[in-house]
Amino acid sequence: MSEFALKTSLPSYLREQQEKIELIASNAGLDFFPTIFEILTYDQMNEIAAYGGFPNRYPHWRFGMEYERMAKSYEYGLSKIYEMVINNNPSYAYLLEGNSLVDQKLVMAHVYAHVDFFKNNYCFRSTDLDTGGRTVDPVRRPPGYDPNRRWIDKMANHGSRLRRIIGRQGESRVEEFIDQCLALENLIDIHSPFRGRARKRLPEDEEPTVTEVPRLRAKDYMESFINPEEYLDAQRKKLDAVREKAKSFPERPERDVLLFLLQHAPLERWERDVLEVVREEAYYFTPQMQTKIMNEGWATYWHSKLMTESILDASEVVDYADHAAGVLATSGGRLNPYKLGVELYRNIEDRWNKGQFGKEWEDCDDSDAKKNWDLRLDLGRQKIFQVRALYNDVTFIDEFLTPEFVLENKLFSFGWSNRNERYEIDSREFAVVKNKLLFDLTNSGSPTIYVDDANFENRGELLLRHDHQGLELRADYTKDVMAALVRVWKRPVNVTTVVDGKTVRHRRDGEDFSTRPFSS
């Protein structure tokens, strides 16, 4: 165990457990950052949970709201936070004071798997601070991979940065601006950390000053017949139009709206600072949203394996089983990411152990043969380790969800019924369920928005476009977010989207909000 892990206030009986469990976990093949456990009282736990796991954040009322909600649901006995771990190197995990020893052991086993996931899943490479947020090849890692992920310090720095700004600008002014920025928080490009640097402009990209229309070669006296003047004019106009379009700014639609605003909106320095903080933190939390099912499933897989195979005393089995059943329960038809994740990993492990994959398996139509398919390959363990490194929730579901799995786990898709005013089960068909699930996971369930034009109609107005994929934007929120955009852009803002099946363009100018039909 690392030196500094011994510096915490963890009671000695828990430290003994930690050492034991750490050894068991690493023997099982888990590869984690050094992990530090802290023990907290319930109100400290609620505080840290309200801050998203960090001991120090910038001041904002929504953390207070979270705290209120958590404190309430704890008081009323509705929920209790058992464990929390943050993606940091070293990783910090929190144990709740007064939990039984079985629970603490379970949490530790669970936490080591989470930390293994943080360290090894490619999505989390975007949180490596020493790569400057650009990881072109997230799969290849330098030997002795030990990245700088001191996000606890970074978040605390954000706190003091914003506190200093508040000291100068006044609380309500800064708070109001933070609120506006948070309304734009999800307008980021989740793929940008892996795209490398923006392409440099090549000299040949430089536009020619005169428009030269290519002519067909012709003898002098044939010139006016082969290259008639009217034709040349028409061509010239066409070329001009293309060039005009290329001049539009941004040249290509920009999906990282926050970055665009940061670079091009007329902001004061402190406003830029605030926006930058909000954007950086949004990128930090993105990988966790992208891998919710995988991460929780992985942790659950390992805690149950380690607990039942090596950690538990015989006297603790019943308590453990009781608790584990609670974690994996599905109630009221809700999808439990812990359960979905762990079942999928087990399914994958089983399939790869038995060789139920590849072309031969896919092509087999005989359900009896499929049921008894067992090539004894024992590749399962190796496969799930690979899966945990190379997939996110979308690709995980896309590749490994099978019709048999959907049937066995009773998955369904549901929708709102206007007639009965309630949510009703739509379908149990594999394709429908899978599509719905993938849709909800894509872009972390947020609509995709692009900056199309920053000088719309040559009036310096901002034009955004909602990439409509079947679902429409929530109307009242759209209005409010556009107000926030106006606040940042300082000019009217337009959004192209779809309302009631028709393409429309919203325009917001201060208090005025209008919508008109639009055809592209």
Residues between 178 and 197 that touch other proteins (CB under 8 A): 179, 182-183, 185-187
Given the complex with other proteins, which of 116 and 393 has the nearer CB atom?
Answer: 393
Contact mark string toward other proteins, 52..81, x via CB under 8 A: ---xx--xxxxxxx-xxx------------
Q: How far is the CB of 64 from other proteins (least distance, A)?
A: 3
Contact stretch for other proteins (CB under 8 A) within 49-57, 192-200, 371-379, 383-391:
49-57
In whole angstroms, the minimum distance from the beta carbon of 434 to other proteins comes to 9
Give the tokens for residue 212. Answer: 């030269």
CA 66 to chain centre: 20
Q: Do 114 and 94 contact (CB within 8 A), yes or no?
A: no
CB atoms within 10 A of CB 291: 26
Classify 64 as helix, strand or coil: helix
In angstroms, give the least distance from the CB of 447 to other proteins.
5
Task: Name residues contacting other proteins, limited to 483-502 (CB under 8 A).
Answer: 484
Q: Which residue from 453, 455, 454, 436 is spatially nearest to 445, judged by alpha carbons?
A: 436
Instruction: Give Cα separations from 296 to 110, 116, 340, 344, 346 (angstroms).
Output: 9, 12, 9, 11, 13
| Residues 72/49, Cβ–Cβ less than 8 Å | no
Query: Among residue numbers 105 through 144, which ones bind other proteins (CB under 8 A)?
Result: none
CB atoms within 10 A of CB 456: 19
- Of residues 265 through 304, those in contact with other proteins by CB under 8 A are 292-293
* Contact pattern from residue 16 through residue 35 relative to other proteins, giving x for each residue in contact according to CB under 8 A and a dash for the rest: --------------------
- Edge-to-edge strand list for the sheet holding 35-40: 35-40, 91-96, 83-86
- Based on CB atoms, which residue is closest to other proteins, 265 or 289? 289
Single residue of 119, 158, 303, 339 touching other proteins by CB under 8 A: 339
DSSP β-bridge partners for residue 507:
494, 514
Instruction: Give the separation between CA 137 and CA 160, rounded to whole angstroms.
Output: 33
Pick one of 246, 335, 369, 431: the residue that binds other proteins (CB under 8 A).
Answer: 335
Peptide bond into 138 cis (omega under 30): no
Of 35, 37, 34, the residue nearest 11 (C-alpha):
37
In the bound state with other proteins, the residue whose beta carbon lies nearer, of 35 and 478, is 478
Among 261, 433, 463, 493, binds other proteins (CB under 8 A): 433
**What does the block give as tokens for 407?**
């049937």
Considering only residues 370-429, where is the footprint of other proteins by CB under 8 A?
393, 409-416, 418, 420-428
Give which of 163, 182, 165 is closest to 57, Cα–Cα: 163
Write down the least CB distance from residue 473 to other proteins, Å.
Answer: 6
The distance of closest approach from Cβ of residue 390 to other proteins in the complex, given in angstroms and rounded to an integer, is 19
Closest CB 73 distance from other proteins, rounded Å: 12
Nearer to other proteins, 5 or 182 (CB): 182
Site for other proteins in 450-489 (CB under 8 A): 466, 471-481, 484
